[in-house]
């Protein structure tokens, strides 16, 4: 592909940035009454309203022309068909096959991967039913009541987010817990109240070499042994999810207790595989299938809908416009659905590990900003924390507001209050409040002219803050599946436009290598390695102080 910045649509978009910065979004509504109808769409159970963005018909036409010029349709086909589009790792990208409920063949090197996917799903189903129905028992013959998932990054964030989000659909048979951090506090706190006879550990690691996960798995094993005193207990209390069979075996987990992952599933796109075991164990296999079905429906939408009615494409284009062209480099995710409290953390890995890159597919430095900084938390709590910044700071932060028409846990009188805030915030962020309006309001309260003058600049809200609104019918397994897939495809579209490889993550390796080098320095009394002046002194100080604290 030619350098994306030289494409006609890119060049045309550049000419539109000044006007977009100068025209308030609310003025665009005044110019075009049909804006909502034109700039919103329904995808499965999700309404996406992107009308509160600084785009007009001409800008949108350029943005849509750009996705055509970069060959998105071709890239999309290549992904669905199992081409090795993860070029730096020479891998296909086939998380869509994991939820391919139509079961149409997907060939990789002449082999239909659906056979392996279906085989593994059947194993997951049997296993989940055995645990949930009490046929799978611990070493002393007791039922399993608690599942502890040990994994990090993509082997943690997805299942952790989904099990939290779908708790209202769970029964009380199995409680799920997550341990990701190598800070011993997490595993110690998690295990303290649990009974080893009733705990099942899922060691989830695609590589089965990740230091945090392996350390926690070993600690969990020791904990089990301190109660069972018999190595054979491991078979009853440990299962693995990995693509590294040899390492799983070396850990002592039998092949029949090991679930497969494939190199064509990226960690951050893996919750649809056996990495989703905690989800299926908590909710039952049927609900897990619902989640897969929702994602599959979004896959079909992404694959089949024209770009101008395609939710992932439009969501991506709003981010592209706001960040790369208008220079708003961070993006906040604001769910107004309590169960989605880990959604921003999940998206942070999905988006930032995928698109936080600075060279293109052939290794040339790209001259534009890629991946936005993703952050956020529950919107209603954010209102009493950082919304001040969103409304009145000098930095414009585009926001995604996510809410539901119906609460998954209705409590009389609550949902309307929550949603009143949801709607109020996007309105306030766009419209702001002008000096004239503030002056009128203060005069109405009886303030003197002097007082009004003093207070006025502090109370003005500039507005003109872009937002997307995603309104779900209800946060159920199917809709959540669709919502996650919507964002996955958004990430893919952005990667295609930015011409970067969204499916590798080389940027996490250097820190891991250095940590492995520093570890023996911390374990030994002397022998600090050669580091920069700051790091070397910090390590020395740490060790000296540690000795003092011991004495």
Are 495 and 355 within 8 A, CB to CB?
yes
Pair 59, 19: CB distance under 8 Å: no
Nearer to ligand F6P, 152 or 485 (CB): 152
Q: Which two tokens stand for residue 310?
A: 């395609």
278 near ligand F6P, judged by CB under 6 A: no
List 353, 357, 488, 490, catalytic entry = 353
159 binds ligand F6P (CB under 6 A): no
User: Which of 149, 322 has the CB closer to ligand F6P?
Assistant: 149
Q: CA 328 → CA 203, 374, 495, distances in Å?
A: 39, 12, 17
Asked if 441 is an active-site residue, the reply is no
From the list 51, 59, 86, 213, which residue makes contact with ligand F6P (rule: CB under 6 A)?
213
Compute the least distance from the CB of residue 349 to ligand F6P, in Å: 7
Say whether residue 215 binds ligand F6P (CB under 6 A): no
Give the nearest distance from C-beta 255 to ligand F6P in angstroms. Answer: 19
In contact, 386 and 359? CB cutoff 8 Å: no
Question: Do the Cβ atoms of 507 and 91 come closer than 8 Å?
Answer: no
Residue 212 annotated among the catalytic residues of the structure: no
What does the alpha-carbon distance between residue 484 and residue 292 come to, in Å, rounded to a whole number?
Answer: 10
Angle of CA points 186, 192, 198, to nearest 5°: 110
Give, as one character, the DSSP assignment of residue 198.
G
Determine, following the binding rule CB under 6 A, whether residue 508 of this chain makes contact with ligand F6P. Answer: yes
Least distance CB 312 / ligand F6P (angstroms): 21
| CA 517 – CA 513 distance, rounded (Å) | 6
Annotated catalytic, 26? no
* Interacting residue with ligand F6P among 82, 138, 196, 267 (CB under 6 A): 267
Catalytic hit among 18, 33, 256, 384:
384
Residue 406, H or E segment: strand 399-406
150 part of the interface to ligand F6P, by CB under 6 A: no
Pairwise CA distance, residues 290 & 520, whole Å: 47
* Cβ proximity to ligand F6P, 347 vs 402, nearer residue: 347
210 scored as a contact of ligand F6P (CB under 6 A)? yes
> One of 68, 81, 417, 512 is an active-site residue; which one?
512
206 in contact with ligand F6P (CB under 6 A): yes
Helices (H), 182-284: 184-191, 211-228, 234-237, 245-251, 277-283
9's tokens: 């649509």
Encoded one letter per residue, x for contact with ligand F6P by CB under 6 A and - for no contact, window 110-149 reads ----------------------------------------
Active-site residue numbers? 353, 384, 512
Q: Given the rule CB under 6 A, which residues bind ligand F6P? A: 152-155, 205-207, 210, 213, 267-268, 353, 505, 508
């Amino acid at each position: 592909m030619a350098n994306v910045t030289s494409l006609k649509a890119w060049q045309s978009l550049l000419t539109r940035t000044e006007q977009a910065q100068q025209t308030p979004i609310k003025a665009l509504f005044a110019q075009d009454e049909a804006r909502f109808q034109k700039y919103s769409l329904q995808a499965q159970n999700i309404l996406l309203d992107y009308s509160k963005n600084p785009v007009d018909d001409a800008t949108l036409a350029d943005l849509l022309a750009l996705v055509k010029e970069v060959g998105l349709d071709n890239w999309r086909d290549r992904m669905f068909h199992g081409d090795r589009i993860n070029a730096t790792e020479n891998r296909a990208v086939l998380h869509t096959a994991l939820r391919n409920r139509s079961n149409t063949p997907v060939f990789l090197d002449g082999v239909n991967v659906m056979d392996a996917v279906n085989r593994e799903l059947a194993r997951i189903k049997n296993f989940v039913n055995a645990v949930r129905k009490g046929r799978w028992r611990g070493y002393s013959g007791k039922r399993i009541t608690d599942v502890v998932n040990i994994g990090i990054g993509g082997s943690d964030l997805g299942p952790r987010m989904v099990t939290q989000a779908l708790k209202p659909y769970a029964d009380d048979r199995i409680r799920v817990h997550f341990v990701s951090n190598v800070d011993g506090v997490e595993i110690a706190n998690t295990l303290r109240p649990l009974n080893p006879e009733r705990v099942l550990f899922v060691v989830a690691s695609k590589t089965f070499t990740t230091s945090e996960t392996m350390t926690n798995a070993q600690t969990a094993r020791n904990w089990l042994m301190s109660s069972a005193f018999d190595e054979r207990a491991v078979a009853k209390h440990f299962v693995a999810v990995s693509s590294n069979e040899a390492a799983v075996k070396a850990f002592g987990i039998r092949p029949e207790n090991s679930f497969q992952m494939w190199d064509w599933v990226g960690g951050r796109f893996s919750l649809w595989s056996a990495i989703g075991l905690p989800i299926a164990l908590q909710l039952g296999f049927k609900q897990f299938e619902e989640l897969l079905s929702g994602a599959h429906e979004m896959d079909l939408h992404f694959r089949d809908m024209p770009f101008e009615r395609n939710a992932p494409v439009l969501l991506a284009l709003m981010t592209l416009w706001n960040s790369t062209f208008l220079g708003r480099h961070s993006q906040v995710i604001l769910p107004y659905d309590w169960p989605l409290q880990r959604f921003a953390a999940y998206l942070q890995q999905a988006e930032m590990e995928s698109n936080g890159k600075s060279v293109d597919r052939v290794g040339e430095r790209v001259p534009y900003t890629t991946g936005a900084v993703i952050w956020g938390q529950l919107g209603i709590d954010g209102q009493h924390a950082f919304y001040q910044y969103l409304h009145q700071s000098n930095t414009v932060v585009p926001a995604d507001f996510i809410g539901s028409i119906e609460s998954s846990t209705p409590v009389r009188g609550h949902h309307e209050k929550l949603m009143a805030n949801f709607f109020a915030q996007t309105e306030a962020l766009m419209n702001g409040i002008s000096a004239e309006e503030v002056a009128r309001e203060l005069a109405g309260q009886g303030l003197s002219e002097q007082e009004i003058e003093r207070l006025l600049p502090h109370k003005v809200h500039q507005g003109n803050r872009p937002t997307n609104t995603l309104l779900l019918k209800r946060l159920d397994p199917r809709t959540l599946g669709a919502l996650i897939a919507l964002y996955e495809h958004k990430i893919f579209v952005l990667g295609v436009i930015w011409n970067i490889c969204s499916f590798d993550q080389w940027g996490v390796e250097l820190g891991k290598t250095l940590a492995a080098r520093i570890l023996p320095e911390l374990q030994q009394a002397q022998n600090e390695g050669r580091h920069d002046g700051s790091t070397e002194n910090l390590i020395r100080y740490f060790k000296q102080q540690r000795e003092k604290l011991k004495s």
